[in-house]
Amino acid sequence: WPQRAAWRAARRSGSAFRVGRDLRAPGQPARAAGQQSAAIGGDGRLVYAPKIGRTQLHFGGSLHYHDPGSLPQRVIYRQRPLVHTTDVRFIGTPLLLADNTFGYGLELAAVRGRFWAEAEGFWQHVNADTGFDPTFFGSSVELGMFLTNDTRPYKNGIFKGVKVSDPVSEGGIGAIQAAVRYDGLRLNDGPILGGTQDGYEASLIWTPIDYVRFMMTYGHLVYRDAIIPTPSGNRDYAVDEIGARAQIVF
């Protein structure tokens, strides 16, 4: 989805599930050697993007379905804390055998001049082999603004790269933007205790010229039912993380 798509390409995130940037199943069909299983699946997304005065609005929805065929698929849902330079995952489901999976998401966004806002939610349902079919949920809300005379370009249902109005190459200071964000992920449902993650984040991005970006993000992540306990056995705690990245987009 607009904002998360850019992050997913660089990390994606996706704020894995940077929300939906987080509920993908990295498993593979559980089949014995020589067996065949005809899988089917489909993905769809619809966007309505009216413009009211100077305000660009975005309303979107998506559907995702996968059926591995005659044999169940091994799936596991988990997420790194904010940045993907670490292999530590504080939340994650146990291995599940899925007859099929079905997900759906909703997207909202608005851009007006230097300001933007966006929100999304994603539900992932697993038709499991265990007799209990869990549904996991992720969401995010972001508010941001440019400190310079720039905006977030939007076209055909996605956000485009920033076109710097005062680039360093012409003696300017480039484009500077700041944002605050909330990310939530719920991997608990019924007997499945994968944990919950609530992320409170702030970021600063400098784009000196088109296609070059420098980003720094701070996140305070609060966990419940974490799969990694503290030395005292506590599974409810918080961690702090800072990430920085230089990016060339082409």
Going residue by residue through the chain, which has 250 residues, state the pLDDT in tens, using 9 for 90 and above: 333 433 332 232 233 333 333 343 444 444 444 455 578 999 999 999 999 999 999 999 999 999 988 788 889 999 999 888 888 999 999 999 999 999 999 999 999 999 999 999 999 999 987 778 999 999 999 999 999 999 999 988 888 889 999 999 999 999 999 999 999 999 999 999 999 999 999 999 999 999 999 999 999 999 999 999 999 999 999 999 999 999 998 7
- Amino acid (one-letter) located at 187: L
Locus of tokens 């940077």: 18
CB 130 within 8 A of CB 95: no
What is residue 37's predicted lDDT score, i.e. its pLDDT? 58
User: How many helices and strands in the chain, by DSSP H and E?
Assistant: 1, 15
Locus of tokens 């559907």: 63
| CA gyration radius, the chain | 20
Please measure the distance between the N-terminal and C-terminal CA atoms of the chain and give it in whole angstroms. Answer: 19
DSSP β-ladder status, 115-128 and 158-159: unpaired
Locus of tokens 């599930």: 17
**Rounded to 5 degrees, what are φ and ψ at 222?**
-105, 130
CA distance 125 to 15: 20
CB 88 within 8 A of CB 80: yes
Taking the alpha carbons of 211, 181, 121, 187 in that order, is the dihedral positive or negative? Answer: positive
Q: Is 242 exposed, middle or buried (0-12, 13-18, 19+ CB in 10 A)?
A: exposed
CA distance 193 to 181: 25
pTM for this predicted structure: 0.81
CA distance 167 to 160: 17
The Cβ of residue 47 has, within 10 Å, a number of other Cβ atoms equal to: 16
The token pair at 67 is: 């059926």
CB 54 within 8 A of CB 93: no
The CB-based long-range contact list for 168-171 (8 Å cut-off, 24+ gap) reads 168/208, 168/209, 169/208, 169/209
